Amino acid sequence: MSLDRLAASALCGFAKLLTGVRALWIGSAPDARPRVYFANHRSHGDFVLIWASLPPHLRRLTRPVAGADYWLTTPLKRYIINRVFRGVTIDRRPDRHGPNPVEQMGEALAAGESLILFPEGTRNLGEGVQPFKSGIHHLAKAHPEAELIPVWIENLGRVMPKGSVIPVPLLCSLSFGPPLAAQDNESRDAFLARARAALLDLAPPED
Amino acid sequence: MNPNHDLIAVFGGIFGLLALFSAIGMGLKWRVSPGAPHAVIDNLNARIKAWWAMIALIGGAIWIGKGGVIALFAFISFQSLREFVSLTHTRRGDHRALLWSFFVFLPLQYWLIATDWYGLFSILIPVYAFLLLPISSSLGADTQRFLERAAKVQWGLMICVYCLSHVPALLTLDIAGYTGRNALLVVFLVLTVQSSDVFQYVWGKLLGKHKVSPAISPSKTVEGLVGGVLTSTAVGAALWWITPFTPLEAGLIALVINVMGFFGGFVLSAIKRDRGVKDWGSMIEGHGGMLDRVDSISFSAPIFFHIVRYWWT
């Protein structure tokens, strides 16, 4: 086993131990076809939890989409995102000069890999789910063969809210919903609203 | 009478029964659906398997001694509180109160048992946590649903830590003529209340027709409740020889803690239904979460503790 893989299993094991995460496959089952898992975003550990909850043979085929501005800043983070998780690091700045993020993500899908995507664009520190950025819409149009699977991450944002040093040992769960059905002639905003609603459908009732 | 002989006799009996149940479970599986999944029988077998592990853990803890029992129940409290807080809604402002609950009040409560400080043990959570935690939450400067959030944190601590800690606290009671045998009180309580859960399940599956309250628990039936409570009351009475009680007293006490245990499961079911879930967690295969297994003990332990403390010490 290579060092990268060893680091991956260690990180997965730690995440599972800390959060007791439970994967609930409510509307879909694990599958090797190209997929975009899209989830609510509360913490930097979100994609680790999704990745760790996939069966090991699918982990190698599944790549998190991560912001270059956070993940490429130190050697350790670079190692984790590039080598351990084989992430697709994208430049989120509007005035970027590098490659187009949608094309970068599309290359992975075209190669038969799956993606983990947070369409809110950035971590949401409040309640609920922020409006989706348009990237997921472009991606869905360019790659109709990829399944869009909503994944609701419950509690991870509460384990360690922004500004705290010690985590509360809460149990997290991931709900994998049914694939988003394709619809012809749907406007961008209607698509984004529908995808966001599919994700919110998986959230537990607000009290 | 050597307490170790009684413990060996009781645990020998339990393991014998478990072996019998395992054989019945395997026989059922073999007769009804060999090789194919069968929801009820597979769940039954998963439950029996989990019982082996749980009884072995309790036996091991008692064998280690007071420290073992305290550590085991501290762990049970920790896991239960995790499950409880995970399912109830708190906000960012409660983070510090939750840290206090998990990392200060929970260990402190069990430390007070280890050092035999009954006075503080009995008021730490009802008084000090009750006053200090809302202060901590208020410093989060978030007033939304404040009373509700404060109540939830306090409730979780009471059910998962305060009430459950009364099981190892039985080891601190000084009962005349019963010195060195207190671990048997833990066995009596856990065995009686857990057997009530098992017999409610068995009688319910065999005879259950009338639901107690479909809105709260779809699986609890009147037949299961009456049959289960009466059978395990008989179990309690039959265990009088490991307790300081007479057979009649043992039966009456068993009846009280079984009824409390039933309502413990009932009350916590109401919370689960409100949150739209069937189980508190998935830690124990076939049973659900830790809190699904100990909800009845949580409600019966303090009552049992006070009955013994008031009349026998």
Q: pLDDT, tens digit, for every residue of A128-147?
A: 789 999 889 999 999 999 99
A68 vs B70, more confident: B70
* Mean pLDDT over the full length of chain A: 88
Q: What is the pLDDT of residues A165-202, one digit of tens each?
A: 888 888 898 999 999 987 888 899 999 999 999 999 99
Among chain A residues, the shortest Cα distance to B273 is held by A205
A171 close contact with B: CB closer than 8 A: yes
Q: pTM for this one?
A: 0.86
B280 close contact with A: CB closer than 8 A: no
Quick one: DSSP state of residue B181?
Answer: -
Q: How far apart are CA A90 and CA A69, in angstroms?
A: 8
B37 close contact with A: CB closer than 8 A: no
The reply to whether ipTM tops 0.85 is: no
Query: Residue A3: which H helix or E strand, with range?
Result: helix A3-19
For B86, the closest of A162, A170, A207 (CB atoms) is A170
Answer whether residue B294 shows pLDDT above 60: yes
Specify burial of residue B233 (Cβ count, 10 A radius: 0-12, 13-18, 19+).
buried
pLDDT number for residue A100: 87
Residue to substitute from B83, B88, B92, B98, interface A, most A β-carbons within 10 A:
B92
Residue to substitute from B79, B84, B95, B274, interface A, most A β-carbons within 10 A:
B95
The pLDDT > 90 percentage for chain B reads 68
Type of residue numbered A167 = P
- Chain A contact set for B90 (CB, 8 A): 158
Q: Do A205 and B276 touch (CB under 8 A)?
A: yes
Type of residue numbered B156 = G
User: What are the C-alpha distances in Å from B151 to residues A154, A171, B109, B154?
Assistant: 22, 20, 19, 5
Cβ pair B44, B28 in contact under 8 A: yes
If we measure between CA atoms, which residue out of B297, B290, B267, B264 comes closest to residue B193? B297
A161 close contact with B: CB closer than 8 A: yes
pLDDT number for residue A1: 60
pLDDT number for residue B213: 84
A170 close contact with B: CB closer than 8 A: yes
Q: Do A205 and B103 touch (CB under 8 A)?
A: no
Q: How far apart are CA A117 and CA A66, in angstroms?
A: 8
- Chain B contact set for A171 (CB, 8 A): 82-83, 86, 281
Roughly what angle, to the nearest 10 degrees, separates helices B247-275 and B183-207?
A: 60
Q: How far apart are CA B262 and CA B3, in angstroms?
A: 30
Q: Do A155 and B274 touch (CB under 8 A)?
A: no
Q: Do B82 and A158 touch (CB under 8 A)?
A: no
User: What are the C-alpha distances in Å from B67 to residues A46, B60, B112, B142, B172?
Assistant: 38, 11, 12, 40, 12
Among chain B residues, the shortest Cα distance to A206 is held by B89
B218 phi/psi in degrees, rounded to 5: -70, -15
- Chain B contact set for A128 (CB, 8 A): none
pLDDT number for residue B117: 95
A2 close contact with B: CB closer than 8 A: no
Residue to substitute from B77, B83, B86, B88, interface A, most A β-carbons within 10 A:
B86
If we measure between CA atoms, which residue out of B288, B246, B261, B109 comes closest to residue B191? B261
User: What are the C-alpha distances in Å from B26 to residues B12, B36, B38, B54, B200?
Assistant: 21, 13, 12, 19, 21
B283 close contact with A: CB closer than 8 A: yes
B85 close contact with A: CB closer than 8 A: yes
Quick one: DSSP state of residue B252?
Answer: H
